[in-house]
Chain A
Amino acid sequence: MDGLKFVGKRIPKKDAPLKATGEAIYIQDLKVPGMLYGKILYSKYPHAKILKLDISKASALPGVKAVITGGDVPNNFKFGFLKDNPPLKSGKVLSTRDEIAAVAAVSQEIAEEAIDLIDVEYEELPGIFDPIEAMKEGAALVHEEFPSNVLKMPWKFVHGDVEAAKKESAFIAEDTFSTQWVTHCCLGTSGCVASFDVGNTLTMYSNTQIPSLAQGDFLEALKAFGLKNKRVRIIQTVIGGGFGSKLDTYAYEYIAILLALKTRRPVKIVFSREEEFLATSPRQPTITKISQGCDKDGKLTFREMAMVLDNGAYTSWGATTPSVMMVPISSLYKVPNIKYTAKCVYTNNTYSQAFRGYGNPQATFAIESCLDQLAEKAGIDPVEIRRINANESGEVTPQNFRITSCGMKDCIEEVVKRLDWKNKCKRGNGKGVGMASLIHVGGAARVYKSDGCGTIIKVDDNGKVDVITGASEIGQGSDTIIAQIVAEVLGIPMDDINVINNDTDVCPWDVGAHASRTTFVAGNSALGAAQKIKAQIMEIAAKNLGEPVDALDMQDGIIFSKNDKEKSIPLGKVLRKAHYSLGGRMLVAEHFYDPPNENFDQTFRGNLSVSYAYGAHGVEVEVDRETGQVKILNYIAAHDVGKAINPMLLEGQIYGGGLQGIGYALGERMIYDKGYLKNGNFLDYKMPTVRDVPPVQAVIVESDEQAGPFGAKGIGEPGLVPTAPAIANAIYDAVGVRIKDLPITPEKILRALKEKEGQKA
């Protein structure tokens, strides 16, 4: 119908055979000649002075090649968003994940043994673990060099006049919501191999999802380590899951670099599962005060939110999540008056970072739960209030987001229809339905100076095409999406396309696999490059066939004249004609796409994304009133994706995101007790199993985004954004209790039910 041969098709993921046969090489599988094994010693206490750190026994162990401590970090080097995090801590530790020493040894076993031989004496100090306590006047400072535990980050967005709107509102709902630490649980743990050559070029084999930014971070570190004007090459192995966990650089990477420098041998550090739980950075816990109002017809009048985030002991890029939280806070539904403030607070807990959704799940949980409270006060059906206030194309939101394509209403209607909302709501029999919507960046997000991605396409002598992209393949399928776009433009089979995406020596710059931006940005970049190389191909083919360029087309790798099908030439031949003629040339094209979106200004206004992704989730639950257990009977996830380049992979993002959201809503939490992680394993951290999968439907709504490649928008993160509030709303519909604190455990439901019964009695 649309004449597309590759785009929009259920094409298997390009690297799936490699992964299904076990041939794919993950960081765990990599061995480099001469490689040593690094291991890190973490602090025993969340807050303590290090009185003694004796490495002599560890150093003396046969097979140990280096032992380093904080004193071995040159020039007081620190990393992180606010440069507050030394890769190895000396003098004092601020959390139980603080790295205090590291070893490199000839085997993993010896490295582990050496770690056990390091003798540390601490003087335990009282810690501060509650961000609210940490904000109080006179609270002990986590970082003595800073005047306050509240980070100096001015998260504040104001639009219109909230106070005036409050007075004019017919109904107001206000409440406090809170969320927990949850962690990525990538099945492949974090790791790297750091290796220097004779010229001190650093090669990092890494599973980072931000190769270009990591390259910059490591260059800066080298400079601090006394290696000025050197080169860093990042080679990504196959990545065993990202979800934001690899969106920043971590201490272990700098430690591997230091150990490699000291030993002059490649050093590999791969996290054990315990370390992955302890020493990677979870989604930040939040406490949110929210108040929303509407007029007598249900039109929203204002939204006011004040948030406190537990930053942990150090500051990563994750401290910027309030900027992305602003997306739903300012622009989910039409709200004329907005006030939002957020404080990130240092504590002696683990420090947080990026996790799929980047703040949006926390914000949306508060907004969408509170919206149902407001609807109830106003006597309006939860669906109706969402219909009334839904976003629309052409809208300019308070943050100056220019809404282009918008399938929000369609998503809501899909949920209503498929859930049989009218018949399923307000049954009062322990079963209930709930819904929640989402807005997220869908056309990149300019959080960094550049939001670009480059692509190089070259054609070899045999007509095979190499697409060299900056985009990182983290399992989401970017290689396949890019190949589909190139195949579509050029008219060549998928199998003729090779996507190279893992080497900064070869691949163009890209800001990273974040913000659901890869299909949109890398896709547009590939599209541009494909069009450029096609023009070159056609120009040469035209000469050879004696036909004008615009009379030519290409299918299955053969260029032919639309006027005379007899006139044709295979792509390989075109290339060889160009290559083997006088003044021979090869076919190479490059395209750098940096979307026309805007950084926020000082007031946090600016069109952050070229387009915005929408969606709505609806869920039917059954609550066991005696046990508080929740069973999901039906789950509908409708997403406006612009255009599905590959519906099969896209459904995979929705199903996968959805189940992460269900885990977030109903069970997952990292249990920290005074700075100690109590459940850092797969048995006690309740990541959903296959038995926890409810009946689920992924509904694709296509709104044809004009700025997107073939109309596509991003879908990486949205799948889990509205899950928790949809479930909370359904539970309320089922049994009349509202749980405002994630995760919604059976204990919380039962306690709330008892309280409710008590009130009646």
Chain B
Amino acid sequence: MGSFEYLRPASISEAIALMEGSGGRGVYIAGGTDVMVLIRQKKIFPGCLISLRNIGDLAYLNTASGLAIGSAVTHNAIAKNEFIQKKYTALTDATNKVGSLQIRNVATMGGNICNAAPSADTACPLLVLDAQAVIAGKDGDRKVPIDDFFLGPNKVALKPGEILKGFAMPAFNGRTGSAYIKHTRRQAMDLPMLGVAARITIRIDGDEIGCKDALCTIDNISNILRRFEDEKLVCEDIRIAMGVVAPRPMRAKKAEEALKGKVISEALFEEIGEIAASECQPRDSIRGEAWYRRDMVKVLTRRAILRAVDRVIRPDDMIWPERLW
């Protein structure tokens, strides 16, 4: 391990100044769970590490309008946030499954995104939640849609001297649900073979959506959806994102297009899954075979949309009849 300086600035501007003064040998470090590994593997040889842990301006979590999360917020803080669990559930699904609890306690979402691995778990949820990357630079902040932030493997749209400050997501109406499904070989401590996220907003003419039927408590979502068939639930808005099936996390835009405005059904989701599968470009690796990944995009797209729909129809905080008994 080569020798390096370790700097702990207290503000964003100080951090940027330190980076500029590092002669190109500075590396930002937040939770450190990626950076420390890269150093140990001798993949990077920083002259100095610039720690972002002491910067209060990177550690915010605001829910006043939509959702704003600082880049230095840890995965566990996001996973355990009840507001996010309710309103931005896909993000909960993802942050809950990154690495292990020990990793989630220190690893930050900013780090997960800036590392820009095709397998970054939080990327897909951010894509479907219409997140914007908030980027701080010398001349102030700028916002970039997260879809434009990923340029390729380990490449993001940060210019020299810039810091990813956080993420801003809009508020969604109460007829919106989201989900992320991480497909792994192990039930913990694993990278995704692939991941699929979906957000859907559904509409039913003139009525609130929600399952008032006692059977809802025990039946599976496929059957419930079938019972809603006559009521014509319409997909008002949809986002689908896929990870590990292309050089960067990507939206399945054709699939989204095909679903938007349509009356939803499981059969339709199946078709949507096939479209998504045709959009991705998976490859073979030691972690999974291309054909399998493509197949799973199909299956998991359907399941992710279904789960998102489920979360609209049967939100977790509904009081089920049996709990009243």
Contact = CB atoms under 8 A, between A and B. Distances in A.
Contact between A and B in the complex (any CB pair below 8 Å): yes
A563 interface: no
A123 interface: no
Given A627-B299, A747-B289, A747-B292, A683 B190 contact: yes
Nearest to B100: A689
A686 interface: yes
Nearest to A274: B41
A428 B127 CA distance: 40
B299 A679 contact: no
A667 interface: yes
A750 B292 contact: yes
A142 to B, nearest CB: 25
Which among A673, A679, A746 has the highest number of chain B CB atoms within 10 Å? A746
Nearest to A667: B185
B188 A689 contact: yes
Interface string B180-203: 000101111111000000000000
Interface in B228-282: none
Interface residues of B, number: 17
Contacts of B292: 628, 746-747, 750
Given A683-B191, A746-B292, A627 B183 contact: yes
Nearest to B300: A627
A692 B187 CA distance: 6
B289 A626 contact: no
Contacts of B189: 682-683, 689
Contact of B185 (A109, A671, A686): A686
A688 B186 contact: yes
B226 interface: no
Contact of A690 (B188, B191, B286): B188
B286 A684 contact: yes
Interface string B275-312: 00000000000111100100110010000000000000
Interface in B141-194: 183, 185-191
Given A683-B191, A684-B287, A747-B289, A689 B299 contact: no
A678 B187 CA distance: 21
B214 interface: no
A760 interface: no
Nearest to B295: A750
Contacts of B1: 109
A682 B185 CA distance: 13
Contact of A686 (B183, B186, B295, B299): B186
A691 interface: yes
Contacts of A678: 286
Nearest to A747: B292
B272 to A, nearest CB: 15
B198 to A, nearest CB: 16
Interface string B116-142: 000000000000000000000000000
Contacts of A691: 186-188
Interface in A609-636: 626-628
Nearest to A663: B186
Contacts of A690: 188
A692 B186 contact: yes
A689 B186 contact: yes
Nearest to A679: B286
B31 to A, nearest CB: 17
Contacts of A628: 292
Contacts of B289: 747
Contacts of A673: 286
Given A627-B296, A746-B292, A747-B292, A689 B187 contact: yes
A692 B186 CA distance: 7
A418 to B, nearest CB: 24
Interface in B1-49: 1
Contacts of B288: 747
A683 B192 CA distance: 11
A682 B295 CA distance: 27
Contacts of A679: 286
A156 B295 CA distance: 45
A25 B194 CA distance: 42
A375 to B, nearest CB: 31
A683 B191 CA distance: 8
A679 B299 CA distance: 27
Which among B189, B286, B299 has the highest number of chain A CB atoms within 10 Å? B189
Contacts of A626: 299
Nearest to B183: A627
A692 B288 CA distance: 19
Nearest to B285: A678
Contacts of B185: 667, 686, 745-746
B287 to A, nearest CB: 7
B13 to A, nearest CB: 36
B1 to A, nearest CB: 7
Interface string A722-761: 0000000000000000000000011100100000000000
A686 B187 CA distance: 10
Contacts of A667: 185-186
Contacts of B295: 750
B217 to A, nearest CB: 22
Contacts of B287: 684
Interface string A527-559: 000000000000000000000000000000000
Interface in A260-280: none
A686 B183 CA distance: 14
A659 to B, nearest CB: 12
A663 to B, nearest CB: 9
Contacts of B187: 689, 691-692
Contacts of A683: 189-191
Contacts of A109: 1
Contact of A671 (B183, B188, B190, B286): B286
A747 B291 CA distance: 9
A750 B191 CA distance: 21
Interface in B58-92: none
Nearest to B42: A116
Interface in A346-390: none
B266 to A, nearest CB: 13
Which among B183, B186, B286, B296 has the highest number of chain A CB atoms within 10 Å? B186
Contacts of B190: 683, 686
Nearest to B303: A626
A626 B187 CA distance: 18
Contacts of A746: 185, 292
A112 to B, nearest CB: 8
Nearest to A272: B40
A628 B288 CA distance: 13
A147 to B, nearest CB: 36
Interface string A658-689: 00000000010001010000110011101011
A578 to B, nearest CB: 57
Nearest to A631: B187
B57 to A, nearest CB: 33
A692 B189 CA distance: 11
A626 B189 CA distance: 23
A673 B186 CA distance: 22
Contacts of B299: 626-627
A688 B183 CA distance: 16
A270 to B, nearest CB: 16
A667 B189 CA distance: 14
Question: What are the nearest 4 A-B pairs in CB distance?
Answer: A691-B187, A691-B188, A689-B188, A626-B299
16 contacts: A626-B299, A627-B296, A667-B185, A667-B186, A678-B286, A679-B286, A682-B189, A683-B189, A686-B185, A689-B188, A691-B187, A691-B188, A692-B187, A692-B188, A745-B185, A750-B292
Interface of A: 109, 626-628, 667, 671, 673, 678-679, 682-684, 686, 688-692, 745-747, 750
Given A626-B299, A671-B286, A683-B190, 9 more contacts: A109-B1, A628-B292, A683-B189, A686-B186, A686-B190, A689-B187, A689-B189, A691-B187, A746-B185
Interface of B: 1, 183, 185-191, 286-289, 292, 295-296, 299
